[in-house]
Amino acid sequence: MALERVRELFNLPEEKVDKEIVLPERLEELEFENVHFSYGTISHTSPEREEESISKSQPRDESISDNPVLKGITFRAKRGEKIGIVGSSGGGKTTLLRLLAGLYEVDEGRILLNGKRLTTAELIALRRQVAIVEQEPYLFNDTIYNNIRFGNGRASEEEIYSAARQAYADEFIRRLPDGYQTEVGEKGANLSVGQKQRIAIARALVKKPKILVLDEATSNIDSISEEFINRTIFSLPDDMIVFIIAHRLTTIWCCDKILVLEEGKIVEEGTHQELLRMNGYYKRFYNVYVE
Ligand SMILES: Nc1ncnc2c1ncn2[C@@H]1O[C@H](COP(=O)(O)OP(=O)(O)O)[C@@H](O)[C@H]1O
Ligand SMILES: [Mg+2]
């Protein structure tokens, strides 16, 4: 299962990426337009799930979507923006950002890049420019160095160290007896979750993606390291779009735009200040948070 996920997230077999597909060099704007999605849909990346969903959806009535997870998502993200996403657990935040990486096909609606609708093949190609850090990152049974390098096989040694510094990982790595050559062991057994998260962030940064997705990526990191990582995130090159899902609102406060996602719908959207003034969902999260 873990391996399957890694393949999904990073390591799409080359034959699946159509070399003919050329995406625009400059990412100006990314847009979701009335996107609907349920996991009953056929996934083109996971054969197991595909079989499962084909069998359960025969005969398939297109008008009845079993358990829709996203129900008409519309938003726009511009080059250089940091977009925060908050909302109750199970609301569809992770799913939303996985659609971006072409892991699943939408049931209805469109995903547009620079105003042009992306085909499924283009979404798959886009994955090469997307880096996702999830809450429980997967590390390979290999050295820390190679785990970071996995984000970008062409990265120089200096680029790898630099990404680790940006992810606030360099210091702890150097304190290990074998430093960067430390074997992380099965599932990174010798490292804390917070350390694994920082290695995963370094791996994402070394890829120099156009779209960076941090899905509760700092949830197990102490607040001082998190503050440092936040500074990194907010000083990333402004040709990137960064999506940040976080429970801690301090990570979200400075975002250019915050989407509040509840039960598959965007119920509020705006800056921190605007959302507080709305006195709704976000304000309630905020009240719980500052209590
Ligand atoms: N791989 C999956 N297959 C089927 N259902 C899923 C899968 N992943 C998530 N879900 C369901 O989709 C809904 C949204 O989940 P998720 O996107 O993880 O929300 P969030 O990230 O906001 O907690 C939940 O009801 C969850 O159980
Ligand atoms: Mg999630």
Of 33 and 246, the structure prediction assigns the larger pLDDT to: 33
Q: What mean pLDDT, rounded, does the chain reach?
A: 85
Q: How far is the CA of 250 from the centre of ligand 1 (A)?
A: 25
Q: Which of 180, 186, 174 is nearest to 206 (CA)?
A: 180
- CB of 93 closer than 6 angstroms to any ligand 1 atom: yes
Q: How open is the CA angle 170-172-174, to the nearest 5 degrees?
A: 65
Kindly state if the Cβ of 89 falls inside 6 Å of ligand 1.
yes
Which domains are present in the chain? 2-133+210-290 (3.40.50.300), 139-208 (3.40.50.300)
Atom of ligand 1 nearest to the CA of 87: 22
pLDDT mean over 37-44: 69
Cβ–ligand 1 distance for 286 under 6 Å, the answer: no
Separation in Å, CA 282 to CA 83, 85, 288: 15, 11, 10
Residue 103: pLDDT band with limits 50, 70, 90: confident
Q: Which two tokens stand for residue 182?
A: 């430390």
Give the β-pairing of 29-38 and 68-78: antiparallel
Least confident piece of the model among 3-17, 73-87, 138-152, 256-270: 3-17
- 39 CB within 6 A, ligand 1: yes
pLDDT tens per residue across span 236-286: 888 899 999 987 888 898 999 999 999 999 999 999 999 999 999 999 999
Distance separating the N- and C-terminal Cα atoms of the chain:
39
48 lines ligand 1 (CB under 6 A): no
User: How far apart are the CA of 162 and the centre of ligand 1, in A?
Assistant: 34
* Predicted pLDDT at 18: 60
Query: What distance in angstroms lies between residue 135's CA and the mean position of ligand 1's atoms?
Result: 14
Confidence band for 189, pLDDT divided at 50, 70 and 90: low
Report which bound ligand comes closest to the CA of 91: 1
Q: How close is the Cα of 137 to the center of ligand 1, in Å?
A: 17
Give 214-245 pLDDT, tens digit per residue: 999 888 888 888 888 888 888 888 889 999 99
Evaluate: CB of 91 within 6 angstroms of ligand 1.
yes
Residues 100-114, mean pLDDT to the nearest whole number: 91
